[in-house]
Structures are given as C-alpha cells and as structure tokens.
Structure 1
Amino acid sequence: MAYKVTSSERLRPSGAEYETKALLYLMNFRNDSNDIYFFVVDFFNDLTGMDRMGKKLWDMQSKGAKNSSPKAIGKELVTLFKNYRSEIEFGYYLLFLGGVSNTVRIDNSLDIFNISNVKTEAVKKIKEGLLEESQDKTYIEYESIKDEEIESFLNKVQFIVDDRKPSEYVKSILKIHPGIIPDESTLVAIFNEIRDKQSSKKNIGVVENIIIETSFEALDYYHHMTSNEIKILVLGRIINRNPFDKGVPFSFSDILHKAPPEKRKTILEDCQLALSRALFNKNRAEEFWMLFENVYSTIVSNPQDDINKIFLKLDASLIDQSDFDAVSLKYFISIVKDGIE
C-alpha cells in the first residue's frame, strides 16, 4: 500500500479563514469530535483529521466562495475523490463550503447534508465538474474512472455549509461559559492566531511527491496541529500566559517553599501533570471549563484574597468533578491569578 503526496498547496489568503473554520468544526461541532486529535495540514488535503493513533481519517476540502454552483462544487471534490481512489482508507470525506447557490439543495434549511439532499440536475452538474477537474489533474487516471465509482464516492461525501462567525468557532472551545468568554476582538484575535499557526504548517518542509505506506507516517513530517495545542493557546490567551510555562507561578511560591527543598521539583511536576490531565481530558471538558470559570470569577471578585482564601470560596461540587487534588488546584489558581492581575 502506498500514497503519494501531490498538489500540496501554498497558502491561499482568501481560503485561510475557511481552512481554520474547517479545523474548528472538526474539533468541536461533530458527534465524533472527541475522536479527532491530530489536524494534518496540506498533506492529504487542505485538512485531514486523525485519531490519536493516526489510523482513522476525516478528510476535508474547504472552499470559501459564498455562492458555489453545482459544477464548482464538483470541481472542489477532486482531491477528496483522489483520496477515495487511493490505497489509504479514509473514514470520512467532507466538503466545507462558504455557501451554495439555491440550485443545489432540496431542503435549504439543512447546512449539513449528503447527496440525497442535492437536486437531480445539480447532481449531474457536480459529476460534470468532478470529471472535468479530474481530466485536468495529472494525479488522477482519468481514463479509468467509471460512473459507478463516482456514484459510490458521492454517496460517501458530507457537505457542510458554514454559517458561523470566526468568534463563534472559538467560543465552541470554551463550551460557552459566559464568565470566561472574552470580548469579540479577543475572540477574533484567538481565531487569527490559530489560523496563522495552521498556515505556518504549510511551510515545514517540502512534502510534494513524498510516498508513504501508512496514514500515520504523515505525522513524521509535522504538518499537523493537535487539539491539545489549540486548547493551550486559547487558555493562554484568556489568562495572558502559557499555563505550562517553566518556573514557579509567583502566587504559588509561598505554598511551594513550605515543602522540603528535595520535594519541590516533584510537587511542581505533579501539579503540572494534574493540570495537563484536567485540560486535556475530553470526557471532562465541560467540567474543566466550568471550574475555570469559577476560579476566574472568584479571583476577579476577590482580588486581595490569597490562594487559600480563593480555594475555600470555590464551588466544592465543581472541584469534586475535576482532575485536580488540593495542591494542584492551588497551583492552577496561582497560574490564573498571576495571569489576570
């Protein structure tokens, strides 16, 4: 089994926003979002989601045009079709669209749909566009394409029509807790930072014509981001510091220095490990952001309180649902306190 990387892109500024929206859609808006850990940029396609082992793939092409015709949609499907024909198995084929013309959908209220919601005449035009674009691409053996193969492929494609602002995609990471939602300009700045990091992955080495045998070999070329990386970025923006910066948070110093000197390094490492578990535990994502909101609002309301007083004022039920123990929670409180003061 082999896969050859072809037609990797340079950044198209007009499409960069939609590639980031597509990433955050994969990360937060699907029923299977918790299964997606890696976001591989400009390797198999504009974007490909992967599970932690790099074996299950969500292949995605994005198009920012607001009024795509059926024929234009067909042309945009060509890379997904190439991957459908490849020897690597892709679990999902997704086309993320900025909008579609009124000639496409049977039910215009559906923003996520498959080919069954596409008008008969539009299906013909989609096939026409796909075939035309396939004929233009050297990486597809056009002469071997059969109509039943196109039918089978189109039955596997899911279409997603974007209807959200960039800020809404960032809010989805925070699980919509009003106490920690930054203002609109900060949300857009976070979105733009994710976009820039995503775009920068396109410049890490030349991958054109690379041949791989397995899907997870793509990770060797570091054209990817992770859901953890994005969560750190967002949390860091809110508290004005990287939560995993080296060193001891100032507000935690007095607590740490009460411990024997030989224990301090281990205590600090344990606290950082607990924070990592809490932030990256997908099964308790909601609980983490609820506790963070509680910590954040308590600090803002009681700026003169030390760490122990803030600890006592927190909602005990939220603490009990978290991955923190007493010491590591005080460490987390210290990080948030130092960041927002």
Structure 2
Amino acid sequence: MNEQSAVPSKLTLLEAVNLALHRAMFEDPNVLLLGEDVGVNGGVFRASQGLRERFGFKRVLDTPLAEAMIAGVAIGMAAQGLKPVMEIQFLGFIYAAMEQLVSHASRLRNRTRGRLSCPLVVRSPMGAGIRAPEHHSESTEALFAHIPGLRVVIPSSPARAYGLLLAAIDDPDPVIFLEPTRLYRMNPQVLLDDGKRLPLDSCFTLREGHDITLISWGASVHETLQAASELALQGVSVEVIDVACIKPLDLDTLEASVRKTGRAVIVHEAPRSCGVGAEIAASLYERLWVDLQAPILRVTAPDIPPPLYRLEQLYIPAVADILAACNNSLNYR
C-alpha cells in the first residue's frame, strides 16, 4: 500500500470500512481485529474480508460467541498498548459486553489517573431496514452516549466512514463506532485511500440554508436529505447537519445553524424517549431559546422494539414524517 493508493471509482460504506481497516493495520502493527467470524468468513457483512489473508491469524482473531469475553480481552489488550478493533455482529448482541465497556473501558484512564488508557474501537452494525429480526435491527446509541468516557461515532456515508474510523483507531480512549446496516451498500461515493482522518467530535454541514435546520445522523441522514430536496422544490431553504459524533456533541455548529434559521427538526431512528434527539433539543433550548421561531421538533421511531420486516418501514422515520414536521415548524406562528 502506497501513501496514496488508487481504489475503485466508487465505494460503498461497507467497502470504505474495509479499506480503513486495511490502511490502519498496514500503518500500525499494534492494530488488530477480533470478533465472531471476522477472520475466515470476513465478518457477517464481509467488512473484514481479506484482512486475515493479508495480516495473518495473530492480528485477525476469530473468537467464540461470547461478547463479554471479546470485550474483556480487548480491554486488556488496549491497556497494554495494543489497538484492538473489536466487532459485535449486531448492536442487539452487545448487552453482554456492557459490563466490560461501562465499568472498565470507559473508566480506565480516570481510574488509573492517566497511567493507563484504553485505545479500543468497538465496531457494530446498527439499525433496521435489512429485514432482520429485532436484535439485528436496534438503534440504542443513547445507552453509550450516557456513559462518561465513551465516544460514540455514527457515519452516514462512505467518506465519513473511512475518515472517522481511521480517527477512531488513532484515539487513545474507547470509541463506539456504529455502522448503519441500511447504508452499507447504498449510495457509493468516489473515495481515495489517502489515509486522511476526519475530525472526531464535529458535525458535518451537508447542505446550507436559512429557513430551517434538519439535524440527523446515521441511516436517517438518507431520508433527511431526501426531505430537504423536496422542500427545496417548494422554495424552502434547508440546512442539513449530520451530527456524526453523538458523544461528545458539537453543539457550537448546531447552535450556529439553528440561530441562523430559527427552526429545527431532529430526525433519528432510535426510539423517542431519552434519545439523543432530546439531549440536542434541550441543549439548544438552553443556548438560544430567545432566537427560536418555532418549537424544536423530533421525528423518531416509536418506543417499541424493532418490528418484523413487514412492519419495519412503518417503524423507520419516513420522508413524509420529516416533511410533516418541517411544515409544522415552518407554519408555526
């Protein structure tokens, strides 16, 4: 691999993750991958395809079906100077590892007064839309955002997946890196394997406007951009922000946008109650409530487990739902 390698003209988000893993492991021999079926099979979605053949079984480790063990081993590796990237096959399988992630990975730096750090990345597919059962379709990012010491990153495009994953692997503290399965093979982008890292803890402004701000992350960015395009045809100037890193939040970028437009709609696939959207809304109210022209609205999934696939399109926030919320905001007097 050269400093700047040629790649196919367009890559999917899944291929961008694979490319970032290849580059990170090439650049740093301390980076290794572990998880269920990540080696011989290349991962359940083939995100790690080709890594074992290139870097060997000592750096690409197939583990038993034991999420708590995977997390515990990865934390031990990280504490001793390695940079493990552990994969949980689906976000709904991560609960067995929560004890390790919440009680140990997130606290290691604080507990040892900086003597030890935990340069660990936890990769996991997330979200509905691929006709899978409930534990394969969950969006529970707010669970991790609530924990001090954990950074939570959710890319919404191939370019951001590539740059943010490289930055997450460089980070000296634990990063929960959640990959929207619905976007894995959607909307490929031209992407150069140049090793460029994107900044963590920053929002990305995908579209500039002055009438209303749409705030989203992960898979819901797809519908949010579609809604923005439809509103633009009606003469509405829409600003779209991809939060990307939901913990810690880049509130300065969000504040500047909503201060400009005076209106905001937050869109996320996770259930409504205690979601990250509520935290964003509360923070924006604290900062600029006198500048708001309408209440901040949320478009979310309902407070139920993800349904079976025949109903999942009713569960996922749709373009029509976003447009209805935007119309309510724009018509508020």
TM-score normalised over the length of structure 1? 0.31
**Which structure has greater helix proportion?**
1
Higher strand share: 2
